[in-house]
Structures are given as C-alpha cells and as structure tokens.
Amino acid sequence: PLFDMRADDAVNYGAIGATIGHEISHGFDNMGSQFDGDGVMRQWWSEADRQTFAALGARLAEQFNAFEALPGKTVNGQLTLPENIADLVGLQIAFKAYQTSLNGKPAPRIDGYTGEQRFFLSFAQSWRVKRRDEHAQQLLISDPHSPPEFRANGAARNLDGFHDAFGTQAGDKMFKPVAERVRLW
C-alpha cells in the first residue's frame, strides 16, 4: 500500500522510501549498534559516538514526551525512542534519495504542489489510521511505536527540508526552531 506505480517519484519516496530507510536504519541505531557486520553481539561504536547518539536520543525522547495522544495521556518518548529514531532517519534518508534522484533538476509542480511538498504529504498520508480511544490508550502504554500522527509529524518537523518545502514560520503548529531540530546522521 505504500508504493504506487502510477504515482510520481516524490510520492513513492515519501511513503515506501521512508519505510525502507526506517528499516535499514535499525541496523545503525542504539539497538543495531550492539551487533557487528556479521551479526555478532559486539559493540562497534566508539564511546564518544555512543554518548553523542544518547544525547540526541534524549532530545528526541523529550519531543515525543510532549505529544498528548489522548486527554492527559502523553507518548512515552523513551519507550518509543528506537522507532522514533528510525522514523526520523528513514525520512532523512528518503528525502536525500529523492533529492538525489532529481539530478539537480527541479521536480514538476503537480496539482499545485512542489515535489518536496508531495514527498512530505505522502509521508504523512502513509500514517493514516482509524482507532478507538480505548485501543489507542492500550497501545500508548505497551507499543514501542508512537501513535501514527506523531510518527508523521514528529519526524517531519525535525527536517530542514520540511520547513523549506512549506515555508513554516514561528507560530505555525508544525514549526520547530532550527536549534531544536534533532539531526541524527
């Protein structure tokens, strides 16, 4: 459901590209760093790299802790951290791949949207879901994945490309100041 042969590259990179990037990134995150290239449990990060990554992860966890999924119920940023990292990195990788695919040429405007805007809209649409509050509450305390709306918005607001594509400004709901954006790779 995340790939459509009839869709333009921006749409496919935003949906399936971000998902592929998400899965690949798990091999290089706080969990994947515990296993070497042969799958042997051996720490291959330097201590300095681990500390830097932990500090960035803590900043990302703080961002997700602030998302209120249900009245009075917030996301547990530490529980969901590995998946939030993968969402952010997957989106970063897919956006870079999409830009590279353009070979320096601008993407065409389609239905009034730039290629970059279609990329991010597609990413957001890939997280569409319907659920009852009771189920959402159950998932909030047991699922290592953030609720879908926060997976979409939490990752996107950390990418400069998102802000450039939509011209966000202070006061906009999705705006995040440059100094507060988490960049992992």
Catalytic annotation, residues: 23, 87
- C-alpha–C-alpha distance, residues 184 and 30, integer Å: 11
Could you tell me if 35 and 43 are in contact, meaning their C-beta atoms sit under 8 angstroms apart? no
Residue 120 CA, distance from chain mean position: 11
- C-alpha–C-alpha distance, residues 76 and 60, integer Å: 11
In eight-state DSSP terms, residue 13 is: I
- C-alpha–C-alpha distance, residues 86 and 23, integer Å: 7
> How long is the chain?
185
CB proximity list for 99: less than 8 A, separation 6 or greater:
161
Residue with tokens 């932990």: 54
Could you tell me if 84 and 76 are in contact, meaning their C-beta atoms sit under 8 angstroms apart? no
Short-list 94, 77, 82, 76, CA closest to 29: 82
